[in-house]
Structure 1
């Protein structure tokens, strides 16, 4: 969005020259380290004969006895059938919660990828479950088709994104798992079950958002729509204006979301609407990376004095429309995230959402060390048993911290606000919910637990995190 280090320096120089700077506080803040004590970018050391695994942010790690990547569904089935130990499937490692870690076997279905078939009559496409979202969207585009929506991170696999209820934004648009028409599931005994709403309605409702707890999905058949273009407009404006108009904008635009920049009073509002005619294409840019570096420098140098930090930010940040582009939907809805972070996201009933957002912003602004933008999105309801959007439209609020900085305050300061407003956690992001909490939040949670136990009576697909979620005893 165009705040650079140079802009911060220039704006800061002008304002600090005119302000009385308490030198002691300034120097003390300038010598502060923001790196958390337990941070390491390195994979864990694996004992002899074992493997080493770590997720994208480094918050989760494991040293499994086996790391397997089957080349076919038959090989996957045989691995599951003959394994005597625990098994956890992994996607692309973008989950922050403890869904993957296993000291038994970690399965990578990345070789089960690509477009297998497309039915021009129904618009349904079948993909290997390990297909990365951007690959799937690109292959659909080649045949003139598209997903109705995409999340902002497209390095995720279909299996990982569907199983954790990954979503984009759009008040009338459902999360990605709602596109599923059918899937193949390898269960604990190695059998392969083909599941549709008609063939097995309960397993279909449970399996669309499965957390990898029912078995390992080998392929998906998804409903697609004709390919389409979008126009994206990004506007920098005061957060109060965005909050006052948020619900109207969500109802008025195909895709609407906004980012709040902590400590600045400024938000970036993003709308996407259907576009006909010539497209501008995207302009190559590193603005997002540059913006984060600028916001971090603003925190590092002026976080000790919130008033000054806010004034400098408002002098350095752009105002009004900062981007107006048009392109294919997969180009505008989806991105990669080169700068790593940790994240907590909760999905709040729409009627409670704005009050929760205001409380989160107020608390975030009081944290002098926060600089990473928070994100607010909108999603329509669906009927998957463990979908956070089951039961009504939701506003999703996501908070972030740089990958090497503390994020324990997510749990102590912000999670209570999310919970107070009826929030359900994103399954792939940091949260501390247990079976007792989830049974209150999800009407079908007990049904899912019973189905999971019937499919996997020995807990082959459990790990400590899932055992906590389902209230099961875990013995490694």
Structure 2
């Protein structure tokens, strides 16, 4: 097989082949007879979570699953490999929206929810929390269906499944009435103001992101996405605790000279939810492209202390960074969600493609964040053991669920054995 790499180019897949069934029946047959198999999405993860050295990968991208909008029950059912960007416009045209989106719309829904990928907002949960029903092919080739209402005992363990429980073929998501947003960027927020007024800053918009390199005296940019209420006057802020409105569109990686052409529209121009919640537009390269990513989640109450811990490493962290992003996410009850059990703040690092240097600094960051019970993003780069120290109180239940659905461990690739099924 020709070499295949992930989106960032930092991981070369070691699976022997990629299977591409065109029907669910073919998925069932392929999974049933495989000894080692792993579902594959858009290859956006930065580690080997979707790889299987010596095994095979299975993509369901060639299975045609129509988008089914249920207006009466405020839900939408889609295929697992539907991308958020492809779902958004049909949903909007029908008068609906998703409550939140991640910073880029290029990823599949199944891959995003399996790794608990998130957006931002004091009152918004990660994307997986919108899942109300799931259909997956388990290790024995059976097509099983679960829902939030019918299977409350196991459903919270199924959604953020890390690919350990089966191959997702269909999903049902909660939807809300469509809405519009406007987006403003504010430059150079003093760190003193960022820490003193963090609660007010995070509450200033529907979705808020802070971009920093940790070394400067200011947070470089604050991206403020504000919901437009029909009939309400539109008033733009002229100051955000010392940060001033940008006078032209910005790219989060401004220090590297990245053009804002691939970013969603700013300067307060009103637009639909799907073209403002993400930072990047579907038709363009997201983020910087040639990069590495890491992210840790700390309890909301420990946000300021965690920021100071990272700032204490600025001399080691900043030279390796393209940019770092700070966001808030509301709690959920999903067993392996990094936001399980309480609101969290996500501290994200977009690194230059310097893996040996980044690998050396990760343990230092993890040591500084350990007192706060930091949890890593499952799809990004980390060196800590997520199964240690009771970080996930429902981990034992998840293992038991996996043993029932995959008793031979055919989905347990090296990543899962290293991070979830240790020992």
Return the alpha-carbon distance in structure 2 between the equivalents of residues 368 and 375 of structure 1: 13
| Matched residue, 1:305 | none
2:194 to 237, 242, 249: 242
| Matched residue, 2:226 | 273
Point out the structure with max Rg over C-alpha: 1
1:330 to 255, 274, 278: 274
1:293 to 239, 256, 259: 256
| Matched residue, 1:149 | 100
| Structure 1, unpaired ranges of 5+ | 1-49, 280-284, 296-321
Return the alpha-carbon distance in structure 2 between the equivalents of residues 287 and 71 of structure 1: 42
Q: Secondary structure of 1:213's match?
A: coil
Q: Relative to structure 1, is the Cα distance of residues 289 and 349 closer, same or farther in structure 2, using a 3 angstrom cutoff?
A: closer
Return the alpha-carbon distance in structure 1 between the equivalents of residues 252 and 327 of structure 2: 21
Does structure 2 retain, via aligned residues, the 8 Å contact 1:113–1:129? no
Return the alpha-carbon distance in structure 2 between the equivalents of residues 185 and 374 of structure 1: 35
Return the alpha-carbon distance in structure 2 between the equivalents of residues 471 and 194 of structure 1: 25
Q: Deviations over 1:33-68 (max 9, x none)?
A: xxxxxxxxxxxxxxxxx3532212233222322211
Tell me, yes or no, if structure 1 residue 394 matches structure 2 residue 347: no
Return the alpha-carbon distance in structure 2 between the equivalents of residues 472 and 365 of structure 1: 34
Pairing 1:324-363 to 2, within 5 Å after superposition: 324-334=268-278, 335=280, 336-363=286-313
Does structure 2 retain, via aligned residues, the 8 Å contact 1:95–1:428? yes
The TM-score normalised by the length of structure 2 is 0.86
Does structure 2 retain, via aligned residues, the 8 Å contact 1:144–1:227? yes
Q: Deviations over 1:302-358 (max 9, x none)?
A: xxxxxxxxxxxxxxxxxxxx8333211111111232533111111100111111112
Q: Relative to structure 1, is the Cα distance of residues 187 and 367 closer, same or farther in structure 2, using a 3 angstrom cutoff?
A: closer
Q: Secondary structure of 1:100's match?
A: coil
Q: Secondary structure of 2:313's match?
A: helix
Does structure 2 retain, via aligned residues, the 8 Å contact 1:262–1:370? no
Displacement of 1:417: 1.6
Q: Relative to structure 1, is the Cα distance of residues 220 and 165 closer, same or farther in structure 2, using a 3 angstrom cutoff?
A: same
Q: Relative to structure 1, is the Cα distance of residues 402 and 370 closer, same or farther in structure 2, using a 3 angstrom cutoff?
A: closer
Tell me, yes or no, if structure 1 residue 90 matches structure 2 residue 40: yes
More divergent stretch after superposition (428-437 vs 159-168): 428-437
| Matched residue, 2:132 | 181
Displacement of 1:453: 1.2
Does structure 2 retain, via aligned residues, the 8 Å contact 1:342–1:401? yes
| Matched residue, 1:379 | 329
The TM-score normalised by the length of structure 1 is 0.77
| Matched residue, 1:105 | 56
RMSD over aligned CA atoms reads: 2.3
1:258 to 199, 207, 210: 210
Displacement of 1:366: 5.0
| Matched residue, 1:34 | none
Pairing 1:26-37 to 2, within 5 Å after superposition: none
Displacement of 1:86: 0.8
Return the alpha-carbon distance in structure 2 between the equivalents of residues 206 and 290 of structure 1: 36
Displacement of 1:153: 1.9
Displacement of 1:240: 2.5
Q: Relative to structure 1, is the Cα distance of residues 265 and 324 closer, same or farther in structure 2, using a 3 angstrom cutoff?
A: farther
Return the alpha-carbon distance in structure 1 between the equivalents of residues 304 and 408 of structure 2: 44
| Structure 2, unpaired ranges of 5+ | 235-247, 259-265, 281-285
How many aligned residue pairs are there?
A: 391
Q: Relative to structure 1, is the Cα distance of residues 156 and 188 closer, same or farther in structure 2, using a 3 angstrom cutoff?
A: same
Q: Relative to structure 1, is the Cα distance of residues 472 and 90 closer, same or farther in structure 2, using a 3 angstrom cutoff?
A: same
Return the alpha-carbon distance in structure 2 between the equivalents of residues 468 and 114 of structure 1: 34
Return the alpha-carbon distance in structure 2 between the equivalents of residues 262 and 444 of structure 1: 34
Greater helix content: 1
| Matched residue, 1:45 | none
